Structure 1
Amino acid sequence: MAKRRALRVAAQIEHEFEVARSKVGLNVDPIMLEAFTEPAPVASAPVVEPEVRNGITLGDLYDAYMDDPTRDWSPTTRMAYQTTKRLVMAILGADTPVRSITRSQCRDMIEVLRWQPRNASKLFPKLSPVEIAERAKAGGRTDLINAANINTYLNKLGGVLNWAVKEELLDRNPAQGLRVPDPVARRDKRLPFSTGQLQAIFSAPLYTGCRDDGHGYATPGPERPRNARFWIPLLSMFGGLRLNEACQLDVADIRRIDGVDCFVITERSEGDHHDKRLKTASSERLVPIHATLLDLGFMDFVSQRKRAGETKLFAEVGMGATGYRSTTFSAWFRRFVAKAGADSPKTCFHSFRHGFRDALREARIDRDIALILGGWAAGSGSASVSDAYGSGYRIMTLKEAIDRVAYPNLDLDHLYDGS
């Protein structure tokens, strides 16, 4: 309305200038002289206030964001956003106009999140998050979700609101920069397995003799199965592979390059298969196979899979609901570690990678080589122009480095008995 009125004011000013020009004999625009000879009775006209429009609702915004065809959603990412959506909808309301959401409301939402117990939906299936928070606060519960979980929810909500700003559906993000302090340092959230834990894991019946590779993996017996459950932990410990990187390996991903047997970590597959995913662009790499894995007969296992006509190296590991094969294996591994007596609050399968990184440090492996072997991206701001030059390290150089990875005081001699 202001813009429309400005046009009338500008025309009025031009009219006044034309009147002044005509009085001193200058050339004038007769149309501009006539434009306001009979001004409309603006003062008597009713003033119509513009209708207040709050625009899109929070629920519709989430739907638009999730359906945006320009975004490439992985199953895990989509699930994370859907989980956040359910919480945000329950706290702020799906029908709430996005433009009406204030920073104060976002802070109130954080307070509700701070008092959410772990597994709240299972503990209180009939209560809303606000009601759950009130009950948890009154009861002084301590089994609450951690700061990292809360910040993940805020990050995901921020992604939606930032998208709304870019799409001109919102003027600003009211949750911009909001997060809760995390008392646990990032490096302390997950720890490497101790030597004692590793010894317990690799001395379990699965590795020393079990009833079978099915439900009897934790029961002592005569069988020494060498399938996914046997190899995947070893691949992570001696190769630094992420769990899903190991689970999704194709048989064709084990290749001999420049005379060295290697893992080819890639999303590409032969044929029409598109079931592999990597965490980051730096995850795609070549990893020479550690001498210990070769000595344990890993290449014989690969040959068996080839002869069997298998496409997947670990075909018995099925696809999980999230679209990752690691989902099903991770659930089994948690049970396995518990039965082996090796579980602790800050260790999980990813602890193998933490241990691999420490082993690279202990072996005095050059940092650039360590980052390449583990598929770790260089820290923010640490890359230089020189990183874009050259073709990288020779496979033999990487092979020499990875073979120096060792775990002192860990006895794996019994694994060679069944190779």
Structure 2
Amino acid sequence: MRDTISDAATTLLRRANNDYGTDDLVQRFGEAHKKPTGGLSLRQLMDDYLADPSVTRGEKTLLSYRIVFDAIEELMGPDKLVRDVNRADCTRVRALLQTIPKNARKVYPGKSLQDAARLAKIDGKPLMSVGTINSYLINQSSLFNWAVKEELADRNPAADLQLADPVKDKNKPVPLGDLPKLFQMPLYTGCVDDENGYRRLSRLATGASTRNADRYFEERCTSPSH
């Protein structure tokens, strides 16, 4: 206690003389109560994730991680701590992926992804499809899911960032409530001379298998009311 009081007096005197160097008091108490630093970096996380012995990944799978991991390193920095990554960081990765051209590494070899995106805009190069972008976003989410599982992160900041895919949306079946209006069109009224067309439409509208669509067709086209 006496030593502590003496050290405190010394510290106050040094501060009064504008001396802010490390002293015995700071070393004794300041360091002990200093907020702990450190943790796993993003680069370490990505290396550990791909090296996980519980998962077998082929060469193509490993290559599929290259673009999104490069985007993460470019935008967040390889030394950023995993626990410091937030939702905004992952959203920036998504925004970059939306501007990257197809086969970016081949079209612009040696360029960063951000430079490739800028050049692609100037050169009018076609961009990656929504499906491809979503596959990378799923990989990003899988990375942070693994970090949570390994207790390296408290949450997954990259969850549910996928884009709406217009190609997939086109294949969604027509709501059943809209079918009566659809089948009242002149082309399908009575199913006259257009059996195949009716079957094709019923499969598209209901999302049914061929057998179910044919059953639907028979019920619609062979009943007395038709």
TM-score, length of structure 1 as denominator length: 0.33
State the match for 1:183 in structure 2.
166
Counterpart residue type for residue 104 of structure 2: A
1:304-323 paired onto structure 2 within 5 Å: none
Residues 251-279 of structure 1, C-alpha deviations (whole Å, 9 max, x = no match): xxxxxxxxxxxxxxxxxxxxxxxxxxxxx
State the match for 1:172 in structure 2.
155
The 3 A distance-change label for structure 1 pair 124 and 180 is same
Residues 327-372 of structure 1, C-alpha deviations (whole Å, 9 max, x = no match): xxxxxxxxxxxxxxxxxxxxxxxxxxxxxx854445549xxxxxxx
- What is the percentage of aligned positions where both structures have the same residue? 31
Residues 131-186 of structure 1, C-alpha deviations (whole Å, 9 max, x = no match): 1222334x283611122211211111111111111211122222222222223335
Task: Give the alignment partner of residue 84 of structure 1, picking from 68, 75, 80.
Answer: 68
The 3 A distance-change label for structure 1 pair 121 and 50 is same
The 3 A distance-change label for structure 1 pair 39 and 364 is farther
SS at match of 2:152: coil
State the match for 2:92 in structure 1.
108
The 3 A distance-change label for structure 1 pair 126 and 72 is closer
Residues 70-104 of structure 1, C-alpha deviations (whole Å, 9 max, x = no match): 22435544443345334433443333322232322
Distance 1:39 1:364 in 2: 95
Kept in 1, the 8 Å contact 2:102–2:128? The answer is yes
> CA offset at residue 69 of structure 1?
1.6
Kept in 1, the 8 Å contact 2:100–2:127? The answer is yes
Distance 2:63 2:150 in 1: 23
The 3 A distance-change label for structure 1 pair 131 and 52 is farther
Moved more, 75-84 or 151-160: 75-84
Counterpart residue type for residue 128 of structure 1: S
The 3 A distance-change label for structure 1 pair 52 and 131 is farther
Task: Give the alignment partner of residue 135 of structure 1, picking from 119, 143, 149.
Answer: 119
Gaps of 5+ in 1: 1-37, 190-356, 366-419
SS at match of 2:68: helix
Counterpart residue type for residue 139 of structure 2: K
Counterpart residue type for residue 103 of structure 1: R
The 3 A distance-change label for structure 1 pair 91 and 364 is farther
State the match for 1:65 in structure 2.
49
Distance 1:75 1:55 in 2: 29
1:154 aligns with 2:137: yes
The aligned length equals 160
Kept in 2, the 8 Å contact 1:115–1:133? The answer is yes
Moved more, 145-154 or 64-73: 64-73
Distance 2:61 2:211 in 1: 31
The 3 A distance-change label for structure 1 pair 360 and 77 is farther
Distance 2:167 2:3 in 1: 70
TM-score, length of structure 2 as denominator length: 0.57
Distance 2:129 2:95 in 1: 13
Distance 2:164 2:211 in 1: 32
Residues 109-146 of structure 1, C-alpha deviations (whole Å, 9 max, x = no match): 22211111111111111210011222334x28361112
Kept in 2, the 8 Å contact 1:91–1:129? The answer is no
The 3 A distance-change label for structure 1 pair 363 and 76 is farther
SS at match of 1:184: helix
